[in-house]
Amino acid sequence: MSRQRLNYHEILEIRHLTDTAFIIRFEKNDLEFSAGQHVCVGPPNGIHTREYSIYSAVDAPFIEILVKEVENGLVTPVLKKLKAGDNVVVEEPVGYFGLNEKKKDETKYLFIASGTGLSPFHSMVKSNPDLDYKIIHGVRSAAEGYERSEYEKEKYVLCSSRDKSGDYAGRLTNYLQEIELDKETEVYLCGNCNMIHDAYDILENKGIANEQIHAEVYF
């Protein structure tokens, strides 16, 4: 079976961010995507793939995904052992979690992420340099503030729940309760289902209309 038919993409680089989190950069080949979409990626010669939101900008000459190793997982421990020059299997980008292309230049955005749920927002920000946005990123320890220097300092808030090294010591939902929100803001949520459920309630209580809240659940 040919390399093309198997959807093999050569790994160009792997950046290890923490003991468990890493970024895989691989060949783009002919894939096109919208910021916010995801791809299924798996190791070569394996039978399992997992969904990963695309981390890189739409016009980058490569594709990147942000991965966190799951202990005893079927995919992530194998991906972690790969290196530049190896291949990964990549399926076509899919998904409807994205910005309104017609209104994005006149819209204020609030991106709320837990853990690696940051990925689609990194793609959105890097794909749209003039975007009016703020990111609230919830993690356990500040070391999980993945590549935080990539964002303008005043537009990124790191909420660390288990240490005091973030911009805010506590859960992102506590921070969200404490701040004022412009009711015209479009809010995007990406992360674990408990965070999304709690944040959704807070946003509604603050007067954000249901149609202005968009969510993508990470499992």
Dihedral sign computed on CA atoms, order 129, 90, 87, 46: positive
Residue 6 confidence (pLDDT): 60
Q: What is the CA radius of gyration of the chain?
A: 17
pTM of the complete model: 0.93
pLDDT of the residue at 173: 96
Q: Measuring CA to CA, which residue among 19, 30, 14, 22 is closest to residue 87?
A: 14
Q: Count up the domains in the chain and report the number.
A: 2
Q: What percent of the chain has pLDDT over 70?
A: 97
Mean pLDDT of 62-90: 94
**Considering the domain boundaries, does residue 190 fall inside one?**
yes
Domain identity same for 114 and 139: yes
| End-to-end Cα separation, the chain, in angstroms | 33
85 and 12 share one domain: yes
Report pLDDT for 71: 87
Examine the domain organization and report whether 150 and 198 are in the same domain. Answer: yes
Within a domain: 69: yes
Between CA 29 and CA 189 the distance in angstroms is 30
pLDDT at 204 over 90: yes
Q: Which two tokens stand for residue 179?
A: 């701040």
Mark whether 80 and 117 lie in a shared domain: no
Q: Do 155 and 134 touch, CB atoms closer than 8 A?
A: yes
Amino acid at 159: C
For residue 25, CA distances in Å to 14, 22, 64, 65, 148 come to 6, 10, 4, 7, 18
Rounded to whole angstroms, the Cα distance separating 137 from 75 reads 25
Backbone angles phi, psi at 174, to 5 degrees: -65, -45
The CATH number for 192's domain is 3.40.50.80
Per-residue pLDDT band for 1 (boundaries 50, 70, 90) equals very low
In a domain, 2, yes or no: no
Residue 55 belongs to what domain range? 8-90
Assess if residue 180 is contained within a domain.
yes
Q: Are 172 and 138 in contact (CB under 8 A)?
A: yes
